[in-house]
Amino acid sequence: MKNLMDMTDEELALSYTNGSNRAFDILLERNQSRLFSYILFVVRDREQANDLFQETFVKIITKLQEGKYTTTGKFGAWIMRIAHNVIMDWYRSKRSDKTVEQGNDNDLSKFSPADLLDLNVENRYVNDQVMSDVKKIMNLLPATQREVVFMRFYQDLSFKEIAELTNVSINTALGRMRYAILNMRRIAKAHNVVLQLD
């Protein structure tokens, strides 16, 4: 039998449905950081993100136990779709209460594409500033646009994957990205912010 640590997420999910609790522990370890970062980025409130993260994993466990997971798709995409649905349900409930709170805790320090670039100190400083400005501007976007930008640029997902995860058509995902970019340009221009990496 294959060692659990050597199994893919898809194999671990099936192993869990066959009774291996340790398989689920490994799945959680592998996916919790990425999933929580996604939830936190969208809801912008650490306490609420923790609640939604817990709710997401309860749904993941329930769906696995009910046999609603098949290995036809990637496990990571499947759990991101569940997280997206949990977040959208939360937004709907907030909308029905007529109150949507903007949280102050939106730590995106984990995501620094500039770290991947081999730059001199001056360029690194400029690029760090640009990325900081981009993150601030992204926080001003509507949740659906912010989500698409995050998935595309921070998680490197294709528009097809984004459409599947958010349960919309590819055209809708592309439209949200288009409006996000237009809005980010408008906000940058209004605040005289130059968004160009060196």
Q: Delimit the CATH 1.10.10.10 region(s) of the chain.
A: 108-197
**Residue 141: partners with Cβ closer than 8 Å, 6 or more residues away:** 149, 180, 183, 184
CATH number for the region 108-197 comes to 1.10.10.10
Q: What is the pLDDT along the chain (198 residues), one digit of tens a residue?
A: 679 999 999 999 999 999 898 998 999 899 999 999 999 988 888 999 999 998 998 899 888 888 888 877 789 889 988 999 999 888 888 776 544 444 444 444 444 454 444 445 556 666 667 677 777 888 888 989 888 888 887 787 888 888 988 899 988 988 898 888 888 888 888 877 766 655
Domain with CATH 1.10.1740.10 in the chain: 1-105
The Cβ of residue 1 has, within 10 Å, a number of other Cβ atoms equal to 4
Cβ atoms 26, 12 nearer than 8 A: yes
Q: What CATH number was assigned to the domain covering residues 1-105?
A: 1.10.1740.10
Give the pLDDT confidence score for residue 196 in this predicted structure.
60
21-43 vs 75-96: helix crossing angle, rounded to 10? 50
Distance CA 134, CA 22 (A): 40
